[in-house]
Structure 1
Amino acid sequence: MLGDMLRRLIHQLPSWVKNMSQKRIFWKTIIAVVVISIVSYSLKNLMTHLKDLLGIKAVRVTNCDLPSDLPFINEQLTSPIRIPDLPQVTPILPSTKSNKCINMIKRKHVKDLSSVEIPSFHYCVEGNMIPENVQEFYLRRLDYNITSKFFSFLKGKSDVVIIEIGGYTGQLLRRLIPVTDAKHYVVIEPVPSFYNTLNKNIKTFNFNTSIRTYNFGLSRSQKEMDIGIVGDATNLSRKKVIQKRRAKTTEKVRLVSVLDFFIQLGVGCHKIDLLTINCEGCEIDVLETLLSTNLIENFDYIQFQPHYFAPHVGNFLCRYCRLRQLLARTHEVVYNFPQVWEAWKRKQ
């Protein structure tokens, strides 16, 4: 189209240049055509570069059509919720009722995504089709202190309560408590060696905070399994990482029910200021379980790190994007570094 315009201009040149006013029109037209051509070419290249950088492909996703066979907790909606057998876990606040507020916890059927939610779901899937590229892009832009300093506004609040899933050896705990002045802090770490180091480190911190630590992980059901130890990349089934970094030892870890743990803490009675999750893949099980009950509404802020590389998650991309859509029903995003860290605030 631009070529035809230029040919017409050249053909009309003799008659256009008869006077100065026509010359000005001619050159303004030429300049406008050139500018439009340059801008169009630049925008096209910019979009191509961004798509390559983020690993985004302009294709329609077919393997995430809804409803799907993704694992989720909609079963046993009518079964009663009982007090769990976790005597080692004590309620997070002393005012918790003796029945752990069982009567306040309700299972709920998770409705399919609506016609309004489905386009956002597919947008999420298409934007994260190559999660490792997305992660690499946002890792370069991440302020690693955001996982603690973002919540500095909690410092002016009394009786701040924080639950951390996946404490490792206390790196986040050490930053979060001074920033928030948390009065109650619960942290779980399933790997025995990490858990021992966590407790040793806590003794050196000298915080005026009630800190409770538990040596188990969270899953859909209670079980035990062996795990290869590869530092902070340790998880239940990250075989490629374990092979690459050559785990020298294995340890037996215990997993308990997600729902049992939160019930035993007495979450049904109280609002929790912050739930932060970095458990190498268990974040999907934890959040899906909370979403299947009204417990999800008891968390003012939820911060978690997605782990696309954890094979036991199954179809990560579909589950992750659906999880975000379901979480958006009760919470809203307050910061987001896709495939690295994200945080959500409960809607008022």
Structure 2
Amino acid sequence: MILTIVRKIRNSIPGFEEKQFLRVKPWVLCQGDKTFRLDYNLDENSIVLDLGGYEGQWASDIFSKYQSHVYIFEPYTPFFENIKNRFLKNEKIRVFNFGLASKSSDSYLSFNGDNTSSYINKGESVPIKLVDFMEFYDSQNFKLIDLIKINIEGAEYDLLESLIIRGELSKMKNIQVQFHDFVPNAEKRVAEIRSKLKLTHKPTYIFDFVWENWELISD
């Protein structure tokens, strides 16, 4: 049954490469979206950031399980509007029509469904707003982010590299990130980021270019 689902995934995406299929297969076999990505030590007081909200399903699953405070960031306005309407009556889920990034700027992305990205020049080009991550962090008076999910279609490299340089990683208890290999020098940059992450965090799971999580090392 699961192998059938994997094959359907591969067949439903034009140009889906065999290499990525082999990466995704073990993730699907262990039902990672329903297990690893939702299994955290959270409660109703936890702070969760969702960078790249898309349809808001992950945020919904996290809230349903833990009733945490969830902050969703979605710079593409149609996605933002859908998420905002979805959680309109939930005061613990806040939705923002901008992305968090290494620095504040006005940018553009190419809209291509769930592969919308500033790094792929396919589809409709639309303007978006990006806000410096630490500026937002400071504006909210956060003390610790219990879980941050990062799925921002290539911009994860610049963001994490910036946070490493600033020495801000210790403000995040769990970092759940999806790295993308269409970015130049992706494998080298992933290796360098992981080597820096190991100074403050330990990996709890790694599925290359699918999903991985890093947990803050306790004193």
TM-score for both structures, normalised by structure 1: 0.53
Cα distance per residue 1:179-237 (max 9 Å; x no partner): 2221x11111111111111111223xx65x51221111233333223322111100012
Partner of 1:306: 179
Task: Quickly say closer, same or farther: Cα 1:343–1:234, change in 2 above 3 A.
Answer: same
Q: Aligned match of 1:317 in 187, 198, 209?
A: 187
Instruction: Work out whether 1:287 is the aligned partner of 2:157.
Output: no
Partner of 1:234: 116
| 1:299 Cα deviation after fit | 1.2
Quick check: 1:258–1:289 contact (8 Å CA) kept in 2?
no
What RMSD in Å do the two structures reach over aligned CA positions?
2.0
Q: Which runs of 5+ in 2 are unaligned?
A: 1-16
Distance 2:58 2:82 in 1: 14
Quick check: 1:148–1:179 contact (8 Å CA) kept in 2?
no
Q: Aligned match of 1:263 in 91, 114, 138?
A: 138
Quick check: 2:175–2:213 contact (8 Å CA) kept in 1?
yes
Number of aligned residue pairs: give it: 198
Partner of 2:10: none
AA in 2 matched with 1:262: Y
Tell me which structure has the larger Cα radius of gyration.
Answer: 1
Partner of 1:146: 35
Task: Quickly say closer, same or farther: Cα 1:169–1:187, change in 2 above 3 A.
Answer: same
Secondary structure of residue in 2 paired with 1:292 = helix
Q: Could you say which structure has the higher helix fraction?
A: 1
TM-score for both structures, normalised by structure 2: 0.82
Quick check: 1:148–1:175 contact (8 Å CA) kept in 2?
no
Cα distance per residue 1:294-333 (max 9 Å; x no partner): 42112111101001113xxx42221111000100110001
Partner of 1:212: 94
Secondary structure of residue in 1 paired with 2:152 = coil
Cα distance per residue 1:270-313 (max 9 Å; x no partner): 12210111110111122122222342112111101001113xxx
Instruction: Work out whether 1:223 is the aligned partner of 2:105.
Output: yes
Quick check: 1:221–1:256 contact (8 Å CA) kept in 2?
yes
Distance 2:177 2:46 in 1: 19
